[in-house]
Amino acid sequence: MYGQELAEVYEIFYRSRGKDWPAEAAYVTELVRTRCPEADSLLDVACGTGAHLETFEALFKHTEGLEIADPMRELAHQRLPDVTVHPGDMRAFDLGRTFDAVVCMFCAIGYLGTVSDMRDAVRSMAGHLRPGGVLVIEPWWFPEDHVEGYVAGDLGRENGRTVARISHSTLQGRATRMEVRFLVGDRDGIKEFTEVDVLTLFTKDEYLAAFTDAGCTVEYLPGDPTGRGLFVGVRQ
């Protein structure tokens, strides 16, 4: 998962389908400041290559990131050399400080395998909020949204590199198993690799209970930014 080959092309194919990381980060910032107008510090959990964090860094006085995958974290360091991006597992981390906002975007929480794991992650994130701070989590799809056999395809071209991606989804227990195949072509030739993503289909009630039990009020906002909606909580 999220090895060097994928990290190098990750943003290309998502940009090809219209993903706008700056707009998403600005939208989340608005949600945060609606609930906590004085918010000026933010932690981006599972920050990946720093694509959201780059905009958060411009909108908040102090930002930090957390990323478990070494290749993704290295790209975030290259993009934002003045921002601290910690290695760490969202289920159990302690940065020794609190923030006005903690966010976990692009369904990263879905990669956790059990409800217990998800609850641990929500608790860890909420534990890094000051009272009145805001927690924003973008979920993976809910169980009722799963489409068996769903196929997606993308083709992106940037800076002399072409990336083709095709995925096929099946139900594995209570998770979506996506087999994802990539073809990457550049002046040196064509290479192929495969990733297998397994994302748990947690229920809406499971997320809501995790926020509540972590000491946060919570609401679910359907739709934006990617169709899956957002859970938004405030630390009591």
- CATH superfamily ID and name for 4-142+202-235: Vaccinia Virus protein VP39 (3.40.50.150)
Nearest CA to 57 out of 73, 79, 33 is that of 79
C-beta atoms surrounding 38 within 10 Å: 7
Q: Is the pTM of this model over 0.85?
A: yes
Q: In the prediction, which pLDDT does 1 show?
A: 66
Q: Do domains 4-142+202-235 and 143-200 have the same CATH topology?
A: no
Q: In the prediction, which pLDDT does 2 show?
A: 78
Q: In the prediction, which pLDDT does 24 show?
A: 98
On the 0-12 / 13-18 / 19+ scale of CB atoms within 10 A, 145 is exposed
**Positions in the chain whose pLDDT score sits under 50:** none
Q: What would the CATH number be for the domain defined by 143-200?
A: 2.20.130.10
Q: Where are the domains of the chain?
A: 4-142+202-235, 143-200
